[in-house]
A and B are shown apart, each in its own frame.
Chain A
Amino acid sequence: MNLETIVKEFGLEVRCAPENLKNNVTGGYTGDLLSDVIANSREGYIWITRQVHQNIVAVASLKEHAGIILINSCEPSRETLEKASQEKIPIMVSSLSAFELTGKIYNLLGKKD
């Protein structure tokens, strides 16, 4: 499943790198502790977080995540957007909580994969 399907299904707002919405999503990880995400997420995952600072881009880039979704309508900082655009990592915003969004994406990935 690609990011575009997830964006459409849950009405996510794309903040940068729309050219990479074709990225394949192989799974997901939800977390705000960067060491936890670094240790436990995998390549191709969608990362769900409420961290908005630029270090999330380095983590996503290092782990080759498909993209980052910010929850509770949190907006990325200007530096985050600049870096993510350079690194071509899509950042999306959802009005849902981490719990709700994770559940919905988990079910969607389970259905269609």
Chain B
Amino acid sequence: MKITVCSTENSLYQDSFDIEGGNFNKAGIVSTRIKSILKQMGLPADVVRKCAIVSYESEINVVSYAKKGVINLTVNPETVLIEVVDEGPGIPNIDLAMQQGYSTADQKIREMGFGAGMGLCNIKNYSDIFHISSEVGKGAHLLMTINIKQ
């Protein structure tokens, strides 16, 4: 299940951010921070926008479904890598989970305007390369690559 993130020797920036499952009060803090880091590094606005969408949706998924998770951010000269690893129930059927509109969210999550079955689709659509894997009962692993030079 583990995907090895490419060598970090040339990376310009690397950091990890913890996400607390179930805590909607803090949802969005990590992605807002990632966005401001990338902006400060002077990455193109479109790249920052894609990374912000990808990290926000990933963060919301961890908050909504997992016990806890971590986002690893790596900025290389030509790519931004966003890796999300969570501890939680995992995803039994990834093909189904990737379908637009499919959601296992409960009423509470839906009332807040989350859980519309768009999150994973947004992540895929705004990534240049997208990998997802999961082990039921253990968690999910997402790895997104966003190209800096289009």
Task: Spell out A's residues near B (CB within 8 Å).
Answer: 32-36, 38-39, 49, 51, 53-55, 57-59, 61-63, 79
B15-41 vs A, CB cutoff 8 Å, 1 = contact: the mask equals 000000000110111011001000000
Stretch at the interface among B1-9, B66-74, B115-123, B127-135: B115-123
Tell me whether B42 is interfacial, beta carbon within 8 Å. no
Tell me whether B143 is interfacial, beta carbon within 8 Å. no
Tell me whether B83 is interfacial, beta carbon within 8 Å. no
B118 touches A59 (CB 8 A): no
A33 to B118, CA, bound (A): 9
Closest 9 CB pairs of A and B: A58-B28, A35-B118, A34-B113, A33-B116, A51-B113, A39-B122, A32-B113, A33-B113, A35-B119
A79 to B24, CA, bound (A): 12
- A residues in contact with B125, CB < 8 Å: 39
A35 touches B28 (CB 8 A): no
Partner of B118, one of A36, A51, A53, A55: A36
- A residues in contact with B86, CB < 8 Å: none
Closest chain A residue, CB of each to CB of B34: A62
Q: List 27 A-B contacts (CB under 8 A).
A: A32-B113, A34-B60, A34-B116, A35-B116, A36-B116, A38-B57, A38-B122, A39-B53, A39-B122, A39-B125, A39-B126, A53-B112, A54-B24, A55-B24, A55-B28, A55-B113, A55-B114, A57-B28, A58-B27, A58-B28, A58-B29, A58-B31, A62-B28, A62-B31, A62-B35, A62-B52, A63-B52
- B residues in contact with A39, CB < 8 Å: 53, 118, 122, 125-126
Nearest Cβ on chain A to B103's Cβ, whole angstroms: 10
A-B contact count (CB 8 A): 59
Name A's interface SS: helix
A55 to B27, CA, bound (A): 7
B25 touches A79 (CB 8 A): yes
B57 touches A35 (CB 8 A): yes
A35 to B28, CA, bound (A): 12
Nearest Cβ on chain B to A44's Cβ, whole angstroms: 12
Closest chain B residue, CB of each to CB of A53: B112
B42-70 vs A, CB cutoff 8 Å, 1 = contact: the mask equals 00000000001100110010000000000
A101 to B112, CA, bound (A): 22
Nearest Cβ on chain A to B107's Cβ, whole angstroms: 14
A41 to B110, CA, bound (A): 20
Residue from B24, B27, B29, B112 having most chain A Cβ neighbours under 10 A: B112
